[in-house]
Structure 1
Amino acid sequence: MSKVLKQFEEALFKRGLYKKLFQKQTPGKRIAPAQAKDNDTKFQVRLDAGEVQNGIKKVYLQVNSQAKNDSLKRWREKHGTHSNLA
């Protein structure tokens, strides 16, 4: 799982996806990467926007349904795709 998270981190910062964190989003909607089947398969995890409390936006790391990593697949099967990994 750590390899998948490292790849996701690299994509966030090297591709500039982190900039989306500072934009306005609707709670429950995806922040990064863009929703597409090839992105879901490639990155295996996503950032979803949460609610804003006291001026601070909550962000949730969630497992995609197309995750191939064994640890992430077990997590998804046990908790579902809308539970928060972090």
Structure 2
Amino acid sequence: MTVWFVIAVPLVVMLFALFMERVENRLKHVAVRGEEVEEFLEQAQPNEVRALYGHGIGRALELFRIRRLGGRATKLRPRRVRG
């Protein structure tokens, strides 16, 4: 019984570490950079702040990027934010 325990524990720990590495890699690509958040907080307009409050940082940064591009992105039109 002890032999199986000695073999199983390192394997379980190794599999867990590999799984967590995959999760971390996905989060690195999805995460928002600190510089983007700082710039947003310094230059945000009221509708973008309402989007931050109502829909989260992802939607607020999307509106902020669209405004910075000057509305050139026709596919990403800002949605009306209820407020």
TM-score (norm 1): 0.26
Higher alpha-carbon Rg: 2
Bigger relative contact order (CA 8 A; separation at least 6): 1
TM-score (norm 2): 0.26
Structure with bigger helix share is: 2
